[in-house]
Amino acid sequence: MTSRSGFELPKPQGLRQQGERDCNVPVFSALTGIPQDQIRAELPGAAEGKVSVEGWEVWLQKKGFKVTRHDGCPLDVLPCAHLVASVMYSKDDAHWVYRDADGDVHDPSPVSMYMPADDERMRNLSIYSIKILTLSISR
């Protein structure tokens, strides 16, 4: 985004989770265009972070999407949902983030709210020490 003065403003984070474990809801809403309320109604466990990767894949397929799972988090798959972590003591430490069509990464966690989505550390995912997998979709 460029201001009138020609200075390029950082791209703000575009997603916000509502609870402690529902990062997946805004991420998959952004990826699919399906409203968050609809996702919460169809997948009640999502609000508690209880939907597995396989559960998301099945739900996406039922919605008519072709789902591709990528090992790790390739930077050239756009848009997509990345499963990442800073530390990994248990599977509950994994966290979903969304990469938009511009390659910018939106992390719905309150911890990341002031980190611009287009910051190079977000774009190359270096802010996360563990890159688990990526889901992309097509019709």
Total count of domains within the chain: 1
Residues in the chain, overall count: 139
* Residue 3 included in any domain: no
Is position 17 within any domain? no
Q: In sequence order, what are the residues at sequence separation of 6 or more whose Cβ sits closer than 8 angstroms to the Cβ of residue 127?
A: 86, 112, 115, 121
Tens of pLDDT, residues 58-85: 999 999 999 999 999 999 999 999 999 9
Return all residues near 123 (Cβ < 8 A) that are at least 6 apart. 75, 103, 104, 105
- What is the span of the domain harbouring residue 88? 24-138
> Looking at residue 73, which CATH number applies to its domain?
3.90.70
112 domain residue, yes or no: yes
pTM above 0.85, yes or no: yes
- The mean pLDDT of the chain is 93
Q: What is the pLDDT of residues 11-41, one digit of tens each?
A: 999 999 999 999 999 999 999 999 999 999 9
Strand partners, 95: 84
The whole-angstrom separation of Cα 47 and Cα 57 is: 17
